[in-house]
Amino acid sequence: MKIDLINLRESFSIFEKEKSSAYLDSAATAQVPDSVINKMEEYYKYYCSNVHRGVNLQNEKSTNEFETARNVIQSFVDAKYVSEIVFTKNCTESINLVANGWAKHNLKAGDGIVLSILEHHSNIVPWLQLKKEIGINLHWIDLSEDGQLDMNQYEKIIEEENIKLVAITGQSNVLGIQTDLINIIAKAKAKGAPVLVDAAQLIAHKQVNVQKLDCDFLAFSGHKLYGPTGIGVLYVKRERQEEMQPWITGGGSVLEVHRDKFIPSETPSMFEAGTPPIAEAIGLAESIKWINMYEWKDIQEYESSLISYATEEMNKISSLKILGSNNKHGCISFILDGIHPHDVADIAGEMDVSIRAGNHCAMPLHTALGIPASNRMSIALYNKKEDIDLLIKAINKAITIFSK
Amino acid sequence: MDIYADNILDHYKRPRGKDESLCVNEQRSCHSEKNPSCGDSLIMELEIDNGIVKIKWNGSGCAISQAAISLLSEEIEGKTEEEILKLNKKDIIKMLGVPISTSRIKCALLCLHTIKNTIKKSKGEVLNKWEDTLEIDHE
């Protein structure tokens, strides 16, 4: 289906409000189409029950819907086996599962993990914790002068260090640049190092194909993909699953339990102890169905027209500086001379323009850029040019207030 | 009423009592605090002169956090440690004289949080947590 903005926005009740407003914070959490909300409501109204735990009709229906959701996600990321799709709470938990379920049991003191300076805290802190616990080393890829990841530095690290995992984002949540995943993964593979892709931002802006990428792990959240909060996904390649140990354990993750031992069940349920987020998984599948109505080519074309327009308008403001190089996807971060980002976001907020202020959970990147904080505006498929106009108005208002 | 009132902007742009050379140091009378939600930070160093508190401060952050410490540094002139420890959330909001929303309350109270903890640290007392400064009602 071609993108028809009026039609598209009508699928979101939240855009019905008459007051002018601009939601430009989808990189934090995207708005949710009514079809997703209705699908979740249906679960609670008509067949609310646990999954894999009974033989009644309601249970049968909820189990079927839940497992169908897994199939929808499998085909969305093009995983080879449905059992490679693990449901988690969010992208952060997915990465923590890789750290605690895989890395902790396959890496030892002195082994190295490659991270990039673009990572957000979710793909940094679990590795810092592992460093503290088992003494692994972290190697960072910095930005080169052209504002992209320094691939020479990466090649050097891969060649010279004892690298056992590359954990890399597909798209920066601050600078909006996409990383050259194909190249990064190929280089890691040549040295036998598995790769974890943090697709938290990438997933809503570009088609992801795990087989083509040949990554070992891929993590994302539902709520940045027009889905509900409380649901995340970890794709784990079958070979890596065999190397994993259970992390969070309990009911639903075991085959047998005795007084002195337990036998874990098969994957993916081995990693899904306790009652899973059932409505949320079903909701996420519905949000994927929603995005699947559009062609990726059209999504990218439309979103990049918004980013270009915002860049042009921002460049007209002399006291505004855009962070990072061109070729952005999903977001633009910026700073204003003499005005703290928190104040800009507050003044914008008064005008019902939602943007973010702070370090966007990417403190090492902000430190590398030499700034404590920035503002970020981020877009989704439902944004329109008028949203950008409203943001520019808000920025100009902040400049006027602070020039008093 | 507007949060960016003239006196707030004036104190933000011309902070009173700010010492840009002050850095975090090992002194018992020196302490720093941060507002984790947006990265505002304050450093304070305390001096007691005949029972009266004198502070040096340095910091960076949004207009509210920086105007608040500037105003507070004037507000506490002539006050004792005990008098400062009795200051509360209401006093700071009154001092600022502008409406403070939930999302800005930590910016506004960072000055109070820092000054109380600087005093407590110098006395070897247990420091306040943010929930103490924010006066979160646990009932």
- A34-53 pLDDT tens trace: 999 999 999 999 999 999 87
Closest CA to A234 of A96, A40, A71: A96
Q: Which of A91, A215, A331, A361 is catalytic?
A: A361
Contact B38 A358 (CB under 8 A): yes
Low-confidence ranges of chain B (pLDDT < 70): 1, 139
8 A C-beta contact, residue A28 and residue A174? no
Contact B62 A401 (CB under 8 A): no
CB nearest A402 (choices: B9, B103, B104): B9
What is the distance in angstroms between the Cα of B31 and the nearest Cα belonging to chain A? 20
For tokens 């008064």, the residue is A350
Contact B9 A372 (CB under 8 A): no
Contacts of B62 in chain A (CB under 8 A): 340-343, 346
Contacts of A347 in chain B (CB under 8 A): 4
Residue A124 has pLDDT above 70, yes or no: yes
Interface test with B, best of A337, A346, A403 (most B CBs within 10 A): A346
Helix, coil or strand: residue A59: helix
In a domain, B116, yes or no: yes
CB nearest B39 (choices: A343, A346, A373): A373
Pairs of CB atoms within 8 A across A/B: 41
User: In whole angstroms, what is the distance from residue A313 CA to residue A311 CA?
Assistant: 6
Nearest chain B residue to A366 by CA: give it. B39
Question: Pairing relation of β-strands A137-141 and B30-35?
Answer: unpaired
What is the distance in angstroms between the Cα of B117 and the nearest Cα belonging to chain A? 23
> What does chain A come to in residues?
404
The residues of B whose Cβ lies within 8 A of any Cβ of A are 3-4, 6, 9, 37-41, 60-64, 103-104, 107
pLDDT of residue B1: 58
User: In whole angstroms, what is the distance from residue A313 CA to residue A327 CA?
Assistant: 16
* A88-112 pLDDT, tens digit each: 999 999 999 999 999 999 999 999 9
* B80-99 pLDDT, tens digit each: 999 999 999 999 999 999 99
ipTM above 0.95, yes or no: no
Task: Tell me the residue range of the domain where B29 lies.
Answer: 6-123
8 A C-beta contact, residue A122 and residue A97? no
**Structural domain count of chain B:** 1
Contact B40 A401 (CB under 8 A): no
Percent of chain A with pLDDT over 70: 100
Residue A221 has pLDDT above 90, yes or no: yes
8 A C-beta contact, residue B127 and residue B117? yes
Residue A320 has pLDDT above 90, yes or no: yes
In a domain, B70, yes or no: yes
Burial of A49 (0-12, 13-18, 19+ CB in 10 A): middle
In a domain, B65, yes or no: yes
In a domain, B128, yes or no: no
What is the distance in angstroms between the Cα of B78 and the nearest Cα belonging to chain A? 32
pLDDT of residue B36: 75
For tokens 């699928």, the residue is A11
Interface test with A, best of B11, B32, B62 (most A CBs within 10 A): B62
In a domain, B129, yes or no: no
Contacts of A340 in chain B (CB under 8 A): 61-63
Give the angle B46-B48-B50 at the CA atoms, nearest 5°: 165
Contacts of A404 in chain B (CB under 8 A): 6, 9
pLDDT of residue B35: 87
8 A C-beta contact, residue A220 and residue A77? no
Residue A336 has pLDDT above 90, yes or no: yes
In a domain, B84, yes or no: yes
Give the neighbor-by-neighbor strand order of the sheet with A331-336: A320-322, A331-336, A374-378, A356-358
| Domains delineated in chain A | 5-25+295-402 (3.90.1150.10), 47-291 (3.40.640.10)
In a domain, B41, yes or no: yes
Helix, coil or strand: residue B47: strand
8 A C-beta contact, residue A48 and residue A62? yes
State mean pLDDT over A270-294. 97
CB nearest A343 (choices: B37, B60, B63): B63
Contacts of A339 in chain B (CB under 8 A): 63
Local confidence band at A401 (pLDDT 50, 70, 90 cut-offs): very high
**Residue A332 token pair:** 């633009």
Give the angle A245-A250-A255 at the CA atoms, nearest 5°: 70
8 A C-beta contact, residue A91 and residue A221? yes
**Residue B90 token pair:** 């209401």
pLDDT of residue A263: 95
What is the distance in angstroms between the Cα of A363 and the nearest Cα belonging to chain B? 10
User: In whole angstroms, what is the distance from residue A67 CA to residue A89 CA?
Assistant: 16
Contacts of A346 in chain B (CB under 8 A): 3, 62, 103-104
The residues of A whose Cβ lies within 8 A of any Cβ of B are 339-343, 346-347, 349, 357-359, 372-373, 401-402, 404
Closest CA to A211 of A91, A87, A77, A84: A77
State mean pLDDT over A228-248. 97
CATH of the domain at B15: 3.90.1010.10
* A148-206 pLDDT, tens digit each: 999 999 999 999 999 999 999 999 999 999 999 999 999 999 999 999 999 999 999 99
CB nearest A342 (choices: B9, B41, B107): B107
Nearest chain B residue to A343 by CA: give it. B62
Closest CA to A68 of A255, A284, A275, A225: A284
In a domain, B137, yes or no: no
A91 has catalytic annotation: no
Q: For all residues of chain A together, what is the average pLDDT?
A: 96
Residue A218 has pLDDT above 90, yes or no: yes
Helix, coil or strand: residue A32: coil
